[in-house]
Each structure stands twice: as C-alpha cells, then as structure tokens.
Amino acid sequence: MEHAAPLAPSVIADDRLRPLSRAELERYRRNALVPQVGVTGQQRVRAARVLLVGAGGLGSPAALYLAAAGTGTLGVVDDDVVDVSNLQRQVVHTTAAVGAPKADSAAAAVRALNPDVEVVIHRERLTAANALGLLEGWDVVVDGSDNFPTRYLVNDACVMLGLPLVHGAVLGVNGQVGVFDAARGPCYRCLHPAPPPPGSVPSCAQAGVLGVLPGVVGSMQAAEALKLVIGGARPLIGRLVMLDVWGGSVRELTVSRNPACPVCGEHPSITTLADAPGAGSCATAPGRRAGSTGATSAPGTGVALVTPARLKELLEAPEPPALLDVREEVEVALDPFPGARNIPLGQVVDRAGELDAGRSTVVVCASGIRSAQAVQALREAGYPGELASLVGGARAWPPARPGAPGPGQDGVEGGGYLSPPGTACPPGTARARLPLSPPGTAGAAKPASTWSYT
C-alpha cells in the first residue's frame, strides 16, 4: 500500500510573523477561513519572499495569484520586453505594455492588484555570474524561464542555496508541475542530468501553446509556492503532475532522488555555476548559418542536408527540386516560403502520397529541425523519393525577407517539459543517396531526442 507523503513544514520561521491589521484581515478573510491556512498561514504568506524567474506565460498567473494572496515580497527576473505575440497567454501584460520591459509591466500589474505587495524587479538575464546573488535571500523560487540553460542554472543555484524550486512547463495542450527541493527530495537534474542537444526539442513558437494552459500551470505553481510558505501541506516534492487539458487527463510521475546526480548527489561534480550556451535555446545550431558553403554532418541518421547556397543553385537549374514546408499553417501564413507545398510535420507521413516520388524534394521549416525530422519520418515510412532538409530553415534562406523571424525569437515557454525517463529515440536510418549537396559535403541531421516537450 502506498503511503502519503508527510506534511511539510513552512519555509517561513515563526519569528518573522507579525499580527495582521484589520484591513489585512478583511482583504484576506477568504484565505484565512480555509482551515489549512488560518490566520497564522496568512501571516506566513505576508512574511514570504517569492522570486519569479520569468514574467511570461507561467510567471504571469503566478505573479497575479501570489500578489492577490498577499505575498509580502515578490521578485521578478526578466530581461525581455513585451511583444504582441505574448498577449495570447501572458496575461499579466496588456496591449499598452507592448515594447515595455516585462519586469516593469508585471510589477505595475502586481501593484495595481495589491499595493501592499513589495515588488523587486531585475531587468537582467540570469547568468552564472549573477544567479547566486539574485536568488539568495528568497524563500521560494518559481521557475517560468524560457530556455534550458536558465532552467538548469536556476536548479543548480537553488541546490547550492538550499532553496525549494517550483517547476512548471507547457507545450501545445500539455503541461507539468513539480517541486524540486534537494534538502527533502530530488532536484531537476535528478530527472535529467544534462540539457538536451541544441535544437532537438520543439519550442512553443514551433509547436504552439493553447493560451489558457500557462494559466492553469502557472496557477498550480502559485499554489505549490503557497503550500511551501503556509506549511502543513504535501507539496509536489518528488512528484511530477502531467496535464493534458485537451484530453482532460491528469497523471502523476514519481521522481526519485538520484545518488549519482551531478549537483545534489553523493559525489557532485557540479560545485560552481556555469553557463551552458546554446543548450536547448532558440539560437541557430552551430554549423547551420546562412551562407555556409557545405552541409553539416552529425553521425547517426540518414538525413541528407542541403545548404541555402546549394538550394539556390538547384532552384535555378533546368530541373529544380520540389519544396515541402512542414511548418504549421499559421507559421506559413505569416512567413511563406515561395514555391513550397505546405504539409505540417504531424501530417507528413499520412499525406506522403501528395508528394512526387520521382522528383527530388527539399524539406524546409523554420530552423531546420522539423524538416530533418520529416525527412527521417518519411524514410522510416518507406517513402521512395529523394529527400533533403534545408540547413537553417526558412530563416537562413537568402535573400533576407522582411518580417521573417530571426534567431532567438523562437521562445520556449517553460523550457524543459520532459518525456518520462527511459523513452527511446527513433532508430537511425540508412543514409539517403541524394545529389542535392555538392560531392563530399553530404551530411546528417541529429536524431530525434528523448525530450518530448519544452
């Protein structure tokens, strides 16, 4: 029989509590009436210092609900500015705030909602040089970061400082929430010791995110932070809640502490903070820059690559290849690739009959990741035609097209939504013999990753 986790004590020391004023009792009465909270619990909320890393899709609802609950001090770390594309899910920001720093916009919303909350803003990116200084002195850290290097950096800093970390991530219609606290259970690296290979995981800009989903997950993160602050609850330490809002399903995974964890294990190899440039970020992968004269090579798959320069030559030839764009319909509508047929990645195998197997086809996407996956999927499905993936994708295609997104604009929402440990990569396939790259330059794309979501 499975035993319930013990009730966790509050992270707030009793000597930090002071009586609530009559105005505070009136404002937070509904909270205090909850038996698990009470007046003492509300005093702990008012004494708490909670740091939000990121004021985006997850940080937005977390900030609003923590402020509404009466959290004494909220910190916001974010170096980004509000973009109109954020407003579909980042509800702490308004149309009038487009172009403003997200930290300032979030702080203004918090103060408008509850002027009693002290807001501390940091308009800077979290780095190895500043992470310990920014996180030190807080009671709970809520991670709403948008890239893998920051997510791992936050985890490592929390382990070193002994802070509980509230994790959240979303993609499409799926999300997850958990609490990592190395003092009482596993840390984030116990689940996955290292970031995924650069470019191996889709972002929300590629796969989309249902706007309401970050609201659900971010609100759950706020609830977990309040449970840690109030005490007497069972926070999600060593547990990962997985949500599918489209299918209406919720399941829970157990995450065990890893004795060999590189940061919180018995013999840690990570004892100082270090930045991890590019790991899981949205920058163009090394060797996939526009203007390259040859294809890159990464052993393990049979995906042939064609450079933008080579594709330009091929399209000017008497018998040019066909073009297949595997981006989603809305991406193509915003930034069409001239002359390409659009079949989204998720449909490409089922609709392979629409392709001309007697003609070479170059597959394109935003950055070259999904196109390589499409080539591999078609090969595994037995497609007989010649296929290659465009290195760097539509972003790298010359000439530069006005309005096309540049590197770094493919933001990840809560980067780090993982598949269960042990999920296998699809096997590599035999190298395709294609005339699309100049002799001696044919390369291979990276295999599909075990990391399912970001």
Q: Is pLDDT larger for residue 289 or for residue 106?
A: 106
Per-residue pLDDT averaged across 280-299, rounded? 32
pLDDT top residue among 408 and 367: 367
Most confident among 213-217, 375-379, 411-415 (mean pLDDT): 213-217
pLDDT tens-digit series, residues 136-186: 999 999 999 978 889 999 999 999 999 999 999 998 899 999 999 999 999
Mean pLDDT of the region 39-56 = 98
- Structure tokens belonging to residue 423: 């999920």
pLDDT above 80 for 282: no
**Which amino acid is present at 178?**
G
HEC profile of 98-139? CCCEHHHHHHHHHHHHCCCCEEEEECCCCCCCCHHHHHCCCC
Q: How confident is the model at residue 419 (pLDDT cuts 50, 70, 90)?
A: very low
Element holding 230 (H helix, E strand): helix 212-230
Q: Is 103:110 a contact under the CB 8 Å cutoff? A: no
230 touches 36 (CB < 8 A): yes
End-to-end CA distance of the chain: 34
Per-residue model confidence (pLDDT) at position 446: 31
Task: List alpha helices for 176-239, DSSP H.
Answer: 188-191, 204-207, 212-230
More confidently predicted of 310 and 177: 177
pLDDT at 359: 92
HSE-up of residue 80 (Cα within 13 Å, Cβ side) = 24
Whether residue 402 is predicted with pLDDT greater than 60 in this model: the reply is no
pLDDT of residue 147: 83
- Going by the DSSP 8-state scheme, the letter that residue 389 receives in this structure is E
Question: Is 90 exceeded by the pLDDT of residue 405?
Answer: no
Counting residues of the chain whose pLDDT is more than 90, the rounded percentage is: 63
pLDDT digits (tens, 9 = 90+) for 339-368: 999 999 989 999 999 999 999 999 999 888
Average pLDDT rounded to a whole number, residues 421-449: 34
Tell me the pairing of strands 165-171 and 174-180: antiparallel
Radius of gyration of the chain (CA): 24
Q: 3-state DSSP call for residue 170?
A: strand
Decide if 148 contacts 279 (C-beta within 8 A).
yes
pLDDT tens digits, one per residue of 196-221: 766 566 666 667 889 999 999 999 99
Name the one residue in this structure whose structure tokens are 């009466």: 70
* 233 or 147, which is more confident: 233
**Predicted pLDDT of residue 439:** 37
Mean pLDDT estimate for the chain: 83
Give residue 199's pLDDT. 59
pLDDT at 251 over 90: yes
Sequential DSSP letters for 260-282: T-TTTSSS-S--S----TTTT-S
Q: Are 191 and 418 in contact (CB under 8 A)?
A: yes
Q: Which domains, and CATH codes, for the chain?
A: 14-254 (3.40.50.720), 284-399+409-454 (3.40.250.10)
- Greatest CA separation found in the chain? 83
Residue 47 has pLDDT above 70, yes or no: yes
Peptide bond before residue 399 is cis, with ω within 30 degrees of 0:
yes
% of the chain residues with pLDDT over 70: 78
d(CA 217, CA 135) in angstroms, rounded, equals 22
Please state whether beta strands 341-342 and 305-306 pair in parallel, antiparallel, or not at all (unpaired). unpaired
